[in-house]
A = this chain, B = another copy of it.
């Protein structure tokens, strides 16, 4: 199994920094007072397409050989990865084939179409998504870019933590949410290389705790009937991601839905930035005191800011 190292993150960064925003790192005096720590938020909600996903997609697309690139890229996704892959492909001038469930929200269909992707709709089952994708690849010769279980995607996602550490030096703890594990595994690779003594703590909704259970049992557990407002964190861990997480992550903790909403509102109100629920999960863990941050310097990766403004939980 092909696992990226920090050298691969450095290579990814040479590509990513040409196309992605170097997102700002923000902090809030009032949140710091509430939690008794120094928190630094890496704002991937301010990244292109509104999510860290653009880093990985960008690295995957621009790492393709010219010959492969001409056949395009493909994935099945209805979320941030689809938009990210579509934009990265457009930047390289190649086709992005996106398989989407026919019941995807109109707003997501429009976003992906807006970036110029070729969309193929399918029935809303995992089986239909996979078989439709296989057919698209068969017809086009496109390269599949998996949203998280992909070498170049993981290396690309690692560039967010690399920038955070470059901008703010030492940290005692770096935190990220975990869904499929792309962001977390990339973050772990960069952090353990640059700051060997820094703890990496991942956070997950209690209603979608497959990574928590997998990590603590050291045995891969699938995500079954997950239920959480943090819709970016519903998926199961990828194989590569799980291997990296077992090797490098120090702990995974879970949080309640109420805490996620409280943390999300705190960041909206006090930091004046829009984050999606998934981004609020690390701060939720701090508010629940699942992680001891007293007097510490803590980096938090805000994963994205895409949500329907007409359906806020407050």
What is the chain B residue whose CB lies nearest that of A271? B46
Residue among B29, B48, B271, B273 making CB contact with A29, cutoff 8 Å:
B48
Kindly state whether residue A272 has any CB partner on chain B within 8 Å: yes
B273-A46 in contact (CB<8A):
yes
Kindly state whether residue A24 has any CB partner on chain B within 8 Å: yes
B272-A45 in contact (CB<8A):
yes
Q: What 1/0 mask marks residues of chain A from 27 to 71 whose CB sits below 8 Å from any chain B CB?
A: 001100000000000000110101000000000000000000000
Residue among B30, B46, B48, B309 making CB contact with A269, cutoff 8 Å:
B309
**Cα distance A305–B274 when bound, in Å?**
11
Kindly state whether residue A3 has any CB partner on chain B within 8 Å: no
* Identical chains bound together, number: 2
Kindly state whether residue A26 has any CB partner on chain B within 8 Å: yes
Kindly state whether residue A196 has any CB partner on chain B within 8 Å: no
Residue among B24, B30, B274 making CB contact with A268, cutoff 8 Å:
B274
**Cα distance A45–B272 when bound, in Å?**
7
Q: What 1/0 mask marks residues of chain A from 77 to 116 whose CB sits below 8 Å from any chain B CB?
A: 0000000000000000000000000000000000000100
Indicate the member of A45, A268, A273 with the most B CB atoms within 10 Å. Answer: A273
With both chains docked as a complex, state the minimum distance between the C-beta of A300 and any C-beta of chain B, in angstroms: 16
Residues of chain B with a CB closer than 8 A to A306's CB = 272
**Cα distance A61–B265 when bound, in Å?**
32
Residue among B30, B272, B309 making CB contact with A273, cutoff 8 Å:
B272
Within 8 A of B (CB), among A258-305: 265, 268-269, 271-275, 305
**Cα distance A210–B82 when bound, in Å?**
48
A314 and B310 contact, Cβ closer than 8 Å, known pairs A29-B48, A45-B272, A271-B46 = yes
Within 8 A of B (CB), among A109-152: 114
A309-B305 in contact (CB<8A):
no
Residues of chain B with a CB closer than 8 A to A114's CB = 30
**Cα distance A269–B50 when bound, in Å?**
9
Q: Give residues in A with beta carbon < 8 Å to B.
A: 24, 26, 29-30, 45-46, 48, 50, 114, 265, 268-269, 271-275, 305-306, 309-310, 312, 314
Q: List 7 A-B contacts (CB under 8 A).
A: A24-B26, A50-B272, A272-B273, A273-B273, A309-B312, A310-B314, A312-B312
